Amino acid sequence: MLRFQYSGKHKAGGRDLSLDSLQQKLGYAFRDQNLLRQALTHRSSHVFNNERLEFLGDGVLNFAVAEMLYRRFPQALEGDLSRMRARLVREETLAEVAQSLDLGKHLILGIGEQRSGGFRRASILADALEAVLGGVYLDSGFDAVHAVIRRLLGHHLSDELIKAQLKDPKTRLQEYLQAQGKSLPRYELVLEKGEAHNKRFVARCHVQGQEPVDAEEGSRRKAEQAAAALMLEQMGKVG
């Protein structure tokens, strides 16, 4: 079976010394250094890149964060847990964590990505971090990668974050727009259908500078809340 190999210049006993600082910040030392190198290799650079590890890491990350939230907030509803997880695993958060690790300087990029500053691009940083987590899982299993994820994301579970997450979507959207000095959202009932005992409502949320979004629920209030949640997602402000 073909296997990724990296021929670095700074090695000692099979360990790539140039990655020591990254592993120290991760709080984890890879037994198989080739897994770490592959996790840092963008598809623009090598056929054995980090895309498969990214896929694996994404799944591991979502499960680990779900478990953390489930245990940390035993009274939270499923919808609240989903919003909190979405915020913790979104690209913006993962790129921020990757930057704190100086992950960008360790990325192996093709010439084009190097020249265009790919080492600073949020999507590349977030994907590489997920790949690293996938590598940790393959290297040592779930307990090891779960410990790394707790170390990297645990501080994001602040009381302020949680209070924000537990607010309903209409409140969060209004507060965000007010903080930006923008006009408040407007809600419109665009469709009411079904028998009296089984009504369905379609609400539309309007925000200046954004495409309107529609949501359907069993009450007008729930439809407006769902539309607000979709608008937050569209604006990149999930949770």
Q: Decide: 88 and 103 in contact? Cβ < 8 Å.
A: no
pLDDT of residue 158: 67
Per CATH, 11-164 and 168-234 having the same topology is answered no
The tokens describing 93, both together, are 């958060």
pLDDT of residue 163: 62
Residue among 58, 80, 113, 127 flagged as catalytic: 58
Residue among 16, 54, 130, 224 flagged as catalytic: 130
Write the pLDDT tens digit of every residue in 6-63. 444 444 444 455 789 999 999 999 999 999 999 999 999 888 899 999 999 999 999 9
Q: With a cut of 50, list the residues of the chain below it in pLDDT.
A: 1-15, 239
3-class SS at 235?
coil
pLDDT of residue 6: 44
> What residue segments make up the domains of the chain, in order of their start?
11-164, 168-234
CATH number of the domain at 168-234, out of 2.130.10.10, 3.30.160.20, 3.40.50.300, 2.40.110.10?
A: 3.30.160.20
| Catalytic annotation present for 32 | no
pLDDT of residue 73: 80
Is pTM, for the whole model, over 0.75? Answer: no
181: left (phi over 0), alpha (psi -120 to 50) or beta: left
| Catalytic annotation present for 130 | yes
pLDDT of residue 81: 83
pLDDT of residue 9: 40
Query: Which architecture, in CATH terms, is 11-164?
Result: Orthogonal Bundle (1.10)
State the amino acid at position 77 in one-letter form: L
